[in-house]
Structure 1
Amino acid sequence: MNVLPTSWLAVLLLAAGAAHAQTLAYTVLCMKTACGQMKVAESAGRLDVDYGYRNNGRGPQMKEALEFAPDGTWTGYRNEGVATYGARIDEGFERQADGRASWRSPVDRGEQAGASPEAVYLPVEASPAWLGRLAQSLLARPDLRAPGLPVGQAAIARVQTLKVAGQEVGLYAITGLELAPSYLWLREDNHALFARVYPGWGATVLQGSEAEVERLAEAQKAAELLRLQRLARELPKVLPGLTVIEGVRWFDAQAAMLRGPSDVYLADGRIAYIAAPGSLGQVRPEQRISGKGRTLLPGFVDMHAHLDEGDLLLNLAAGVTAVRDVGNSHADLSALSGRIERGELLGPRVAANGFIEGRSPFSLNGNFVADSLDEALAAIDWYAAHGYRQLKLYNSIRPDWVKPMTAHARALGLRTGGHVPAFMTARQAVEAGYDELHHINQLTLNFLVSKDDDTRTLLRFNLVGDKAADLKLNDRRTHDFIALLKSKGTVVDPTMTAFEAQFTQRQGQPNPSYAMVSAHLPAVVQRSYLSAEVDMDDVKARRWSASWQVMTELLRRMHEAGVPLVSGTDATAGFALQRELELYVKAGIPAAQALKIATWNGARYSDRLADIGSIERGKRSDLLLVEGDPVADIRAIRRLTLVLQGLNGQTRALSPSALYQSLGILPFVPSAEILH
């Protein structure tokens, strides 16, 4: 049943054909390739939007209608369509003449009596055109802010202006919607939407202005850079000279066991010495940190990231001090990594995978999209020449290319992994030379796909959800596949958190991956985590949940067999890594082994074990101090009191509470005190 009365819907339908509507057309770019469009028809008091794109075999398709009173009050909103992974969009909002506001979406419904006329509706799913109209409403307010319905508050500020294609456009930042400012470009003459740019990914831009996107992206990145540089000056505390963490239990990552209590000394950005408590009594360190009741861990390594500026502080706040980026713009990532290493920005250390895709209608556009094997081999040469150590291959690589590509990479000293190309099984990929497999669904597909199944589409998720529940993991085929992985030393990056909600969440239920932190997040983000990626009835929910349990059991069996695992996420920075380790323990992997996977294994399989990954003399002081004992209870990793980073001959101390507060997130525990 619709939330909106029939009469109101009729008005919307009639208004759609109203005369004097002004229509604007926008191009959606995925990287630099057109992948969709948005059409916006505006008439008096009304906005109609048709928006959609396809990229990597998926994407949203929606039709929106927004209505406004003559004074600008938001009176109605309607959105219908499908979200990125196919979940139904069916959302509506209405304001009555008496001020009562009501709303309904797949995740919630409610009403509010006497809602402020200044309140704006903040939907669960929306197009860039909605964001543009929100910006206009905020700019019309004297204080440039407005309360949100059902929850939250949004505010806007102009960042800068540019002359683009003969007109002046402004970069604006809206806060209150996400964990970082939401940037958009508006025309300065009428504040109409000009572009919504996602640097390194793509944009939605006014048709005819596609060539301006790169310039807009550079200006937007520069603006965000200034904000992050300010935080990099304000948030860290440099620990000069000698620092000691006194009487602390510490995690021996290689042995996967707790040791101590010990005094751990830090100097010049590195671990200087580990001693029995009080045994160096004549030494007078400049800083002392109490380790009583706490555990010292090596910094976590997220082995499946697609890093951008918005991820930097989230990673550090959750203890992720290093990442492996498995698909990004080379130029953008190189610049970002350099700024982190120079201390201009706060963020994790970065190791990059080279990304190679094949040309097809389903291609994910990136640095190299090859039309031939020769082009693919040339891409490998380029990555080797630029210092890369690992490659990620993607869905549209032709199966017959895999063996020559992996052989060529190995001859140049590069490891190869990634997605299993379409029309190929995981076993075939390993036999053809893959050193690593990404994503638990890709491994599960090994037992499900036929030679004609095109896994460049949503089939790579739907086939697993529909059929994995029937798999018997104690059969010969499963045993032989796991034995192959073990004998080849094939690394598995399961990214369980990326799939937990997809296979288990119903619309309106809390996202299981973030339910434990949701109350600390901005209200709008909390609501977004009630939105499921896939629509499920009772039958589908039971089946997909059973399929998820099969994937979890496959993970446990691989670990028990000795298949090397690494902890990647491919999901919300920081929080997803914490959940990833909890899911390993839930699957039956001991907590100490999960911690080893997130530290020692991550450093080893991203070629950084000489510098990070364990608490040893001479290694960088990339360390975490948590309340409690995560070996006894893995959830203790969420009680993070201090993050340390060794950089440029210095150890920097970061307060997780301060990092979270800079992102609009309520702190979880007080930060550790540093005594002088």
Structure 2
Amino acid sequence: MVGSGVSAQRAPIGPATRSYVRVDTAVVALTNVRVIDGTGAAPRDGQTVVIRDGRIASIGPAASASIPAGAVTMDLAGKTVIPGLVMVHEHLYYPVGAGTYGNLTESFTRLYLAGGVTSMRTGGNMNGISEILIGKSIARGDKAGPWIDATAPYLEGPGMGFNQVQILRDTTDARKLVEYWADLGATSFKAYMNISRAALKVAVDAAHKRGLKVTGHLCSVTYREAADAGIDDLEHAFFAMNDFVPNKPVDTCVGRGGAAQNTMAALDPASPEVQALFKYLIDRNVAVTSTLTIFETFTPGRPLPRGLDVLLPQLRDEYQRRHDATQRNTQSPYLKSFAKGMAMERAFAKAGGTVIVGTDPTGGGGLVAGFSNQRAVELLVESGFSPLEAIRISTLNGATYLGRGDVTGSLVPGKLADLVVLDGNPVQDITAIRNVELVFKQGVGFDPKALIESVRGKAGLW
């Protein structure tokens, strides 16, 4: 498991991050606030949350709360406090044209934090060592951003052709890549679409020996085969599944794109075949990551994503053209598969499966860090999860998967003061998740507006 790497002190603040901080004091009392604790429990109105030295000291009714002497007191009547979001398919790169991805570690880390994300896993790496180093810079207080579980460069076999991905020639390469990047500080690994079963098995075994986890966006390997190899998580939930593609050759990626979506769209989540796959994954402790945000960008009739104004004008305009073209595509397979994918995720959870969530801001662009994370929570609710279930998936489920459920992911005395102050009640209207007024990370309150303004019109440069 990934070590928590935390202390009892507040998050450090360096000179470069000071301008984004609104609250920096040893003891803070958030009074008269609604508490949604991330466990799925009902909201508690009229509460006082006391933060001391970076951790939650107490939570209780405001009428009887004892506020420590010298505490900075903030009256949050009408506001809601939720745990900081824990998002597990994020990227610090973004498509910038010609099959190339730009390194956005500086801008995206600020935007993730501004959107309420206090912990994240990068779901694949095009930036080499930079993602590991930015995580260390954030931990030192030199940069503003979430705690980062940094994934190594992709574990990929021949066939994809990305010019920023090293291709594995054999199982020896798979083992060496895992060991090399684990030595450098990577804390997760991601298998990609053309990996072989043998290479996946070797990579998983090597990672598990280090106490690290492996996820996968798969195509050549089926979900059952990946579960047999010991994989911990499957990206894109069931949108990337190849198990029901007829006559699929072993170790070969077939049925991508429209064929895969048409296959899934024809499935019944309640059918014996699908339920059997669910059970197979659940029995082997395989989680699935919901990434509905990226599939929404492929689907006609869906709204334009929020946050595009922070992008470079060229990237914003490029995505607008793509969005317009998507709206005109009356033959898109996602017209059927998007709703079915939602239903599959809900059915997997009802069967007892673990769902975690992320956004995947790659594809054809349009997904901006922070804004897209809020949208991910909204789409879980649209899928049929209650707001409380969606918040748990987006907080405690992710923290537990990352091995950090004992220190973050829910609002419990003794845990880190990783929490988000919202204007409104997300149980009554999940879009209140967008109204982020303050983000506490390990007891330090960051100003989301200042973070966003620092990168407006520049995301895409750095």
Interval containing the TM-score (normalised by the shorter chain): 0.7 to 0.9
* Alpha-carbon separation, structure 1, partners of 2:222 and 2:68: 60
Residues 302, 243 of structure 1: alpha-carbon distance in 2 compared, 3 angstrom cutoff: same
Q: Is the 8 A contact 1:491 1:566 kept in 2?
A: yes
Q: Tell me by how many angstroms 1:375 deviates.
A: 1.9
* Alpha-carbon separation, structure 2, partners of 1:618 and 1:282: 17
* Paired residue type of 2:139: E
2:109 to 292, 307, 312: 312
Q: Is the counterpart of residue 322 in structure 1 residue 108 in structure 2?
A: no
Q: Is the counterpart of residue 476 in structure 1 residue 266 in structure 2?
A: no
* Alpha-carbon separation, structure 1, partners of 2:322 and 2:263: 20
SS of aligned partner of 1:446: coil
Q: Tell me by how many angstroms 1:536 deviates.
A: 7.2
Q: Is the counterpart of residue 565 in structure 1 residue 355 in structure 2?
A: yes
The 5 Å alignment of 1:417-456 reads 417-422=215-220, 424-440=221-237, 442-448=239-245, 450-452=247-249
The 5 Å alignment of 1:324-343 reads 324-328=121-125, 329-343=127-141
The 5 Å alignment of 1:256-655 reads 256-281=41-66, 283-307=68-92, 308-328=105-125, 329-364=127-162, 369-386=167-184, 388-422=186-220, 424-440=221-237, 442-448=239-245, 450-452=247-249, 460-504=256-300, 512=303, 514=305, 527-532=317-322, 539-541=330-332, 543-571=333-361, 572-646=368-442, 651-655=443-447
* Alpha-carbon separation, structure 1, partners of 2:71 and 2:329: 61
* Alpha-carbon separation, structure 2, partners of 1:524 and 1:454: 39
SS of aligned partner of 1:660: helix
* Alpha-carbon separation, structure 1, partners of 2:313 and 2:22: 30
Partner of 1:107: none
* Alpha-carbon separation, structure 2, partners of 1:519 and 1:330: 28
Q: Is the 8 A contact 2:40 2:389 kept in 1?
A: no
SS of aligned partner of 1:608: coil
CA distances 1:242-297 after superposition (whole Å, capped 9, x unpaired): 21000212122224432342211112122122233143457333411112111111
Q: Tell me by how many angstroms 1:452 deviates.
A: 4.2
Residues 411, 518 of structure 1: alpha-carbon distance in 2 compared, 3 angstrom cutoff: closer
User: Unmatched 5+ residue regions in structure 2?
Assistant: 1-13, 93-104, 362-367, 458-462
CA distances 1:557-594 after superposition (whole Å, capped 9, x unpaired): 11211210111111121111111111111010111011
TM-score relative to the length of structure 1: 0.58
The 5 Å alignment of 1:48-59 reads none
SS of aligned partner of 2:412: coil
Q: Tell me by how many angstroms 1:596 deviates.
A: 0.5
Q: Is the 8 A contact 1:248 1:292 kept in 2?
A: yes
SS of aligned partner of 2:43: strand
Q: Is the 8 A contact 2:157 2:196 kept in 1?
A: no
CA distances 1:319-362 after superposition (whole Å, capped 9, x unpaired): 11111012224421222112111111111110123344244242
Q: Tell me by how many angstroms 1:521 deviates.
A: 8.0
Q: Is the 8 A contact 1:239 1:287 kept in 2?
A: no
Partner of 1:73: none
SS of aligned partner of 1:540: coil
Q: Is the 8 A contact 2:82 2:411 kept in 1?
A: yes
Q: Is the 8 A contact 2:219 2:256 kept in 1?
A: no
The 5 Å alignment of 1:67-216 reads none
* Paired residue type of 1:503: T
SS of aligned partner of 2:30: strand
Residues 535, 318 of structure 1: alpha-carbon distance in 2 compared, 3 angstrom cutoff: closer
1:664 to 444, 456, 461: 456
* Alpha-carbon separation, structure 2, partners of 1:355 and 1:614: 30
Q: Is the 8 A contact 2:218 2:241 kept in 1?
A: no
* Paired residue type of 1:244: A
CA distances 1:77-99 after superposition (whole Å, capped 9, x unpaired): xxxxxxxxxxxxxxxxxxxxxxx
Q: Is the 8 A contact 2:219 2:240 kept in 1?
A: no
* Paired residue type of 1:235: Y
Q: Is the 8 A contact 1:624 1:642 kept in 2?
A: yes
SS of aligned partner of 2:160: coil
Residues 466, 382 of structure 1: alpha-carbon distance in 2 compared, 3 angstrom cutoff: same
User: Unmatched 5+ residue regions in structure 1?
Assistant: 1-228, 506-510, 666-676
Residues 281, 557 of structure 1: alpha-carbon distance in 2 compared, 3 angstrom cutoff: closer
Q: Is the 8 A contact 1:409 1:415 kept in 2?
A: yes
Residues 636, 526 of structure 1: alpha-carbon distance in 2 compared, 3 angstrom cutoff: same
* Alpha-carbon separation, structure 2, partners of 1:366 and 1:528: 22
Q: Tell me by how many angstroms 1:366 deviates.
A: 5.6
* Alpha-carbon separation, structure 2, partners of 1:450 and 1:440: 22
Q: Tell me by how many angstroms 1:531 deviates.
A: 2.7
* Alpha-carbon separation, structure 1, partners of 2:65 and 2:269: 54
* Alpha-carbon separation, structure 2, partners of 1:613 and 1:346: 19
CA distances 1:384-410 after superposition (whole Å, capped 9, x unpaired): 445544321112221233334333433
CA distances 1:518-543 after superposition (whole Å, capped 9, x unpaired): 689887666444333665766504x4
Q: Tell me by how many angstroms 1:421 deviates.
A: 4.5
CA distances 1:194-253 after superposition (whole Å, capped 9, x unpaired): xxxxxxxxxxxxxxxxxxxxxxxxxxxxxxxxxxx8762322134223210002121222
* Alpha-carbon separation, structure 2, partners of 1:626 and 1:358: 40
Residues 242, 404 of structure 1: alpha-carbon distance in 2 compared, 3 angstrom cutoff: closer
* Alpha-carbon separation, structure 2, partners of 1:470 and 1:565: 22
Q: Tell me by how many angstroms 1:299 deviates.
A: 0.5
* Alpha-carbon separation, structure 2, partners of 1:421 and 1:237: 46
Root-mean-square deviation (CA, aligned residues, Å) is: 2.9
* Alpha-carbon separation, structure 2, partners of 1:601 and 1:477: 26
Size of the aligned set, in residue pairs, is: 425
SS of aligned partner of 1:249: strand
Partner of 1:144: none
Q: Is the counterpart of residue 241 in structure 1 residue 26 in structure 2?
A: yes
- Which structure features the higher share of strand residues? 1
* Alpha-carbon separation, structure 2, partners of 1:557 and 1:499: 18
* Alpha-carbon separation, structure 2, partners of 1:291 and 1:536: 41
Q: Is the 8 A contact 2:300 2:327 kept in 1?
A: no
Q: Is the 8 A contact 1:368 1:379 kept in 2?
A: no
* Alpha-carbon separation, structure 1, partners of 2:205 and 2:69: 55
Q: Tell me by how many angstroms 1:664 deviates.
A: 3.1
Q: Is the 8 A contact 2:298 2:326 kept in 1?
A: no
* Alpha-carbon separation, structure 1, partners of 2:292 and 2:252: 19
Residues 282, 289 of structure 1: alpha-carbon distance in 2 compared, 3 angstrom cutoff: closer
Residues 627, 560 of structure 1: alpha-carbon distance in 2 compared, 3 angstrom cutoff: same
* Alpha-carbon separation, structure 2, partners of 1:474 and 1:278: 48
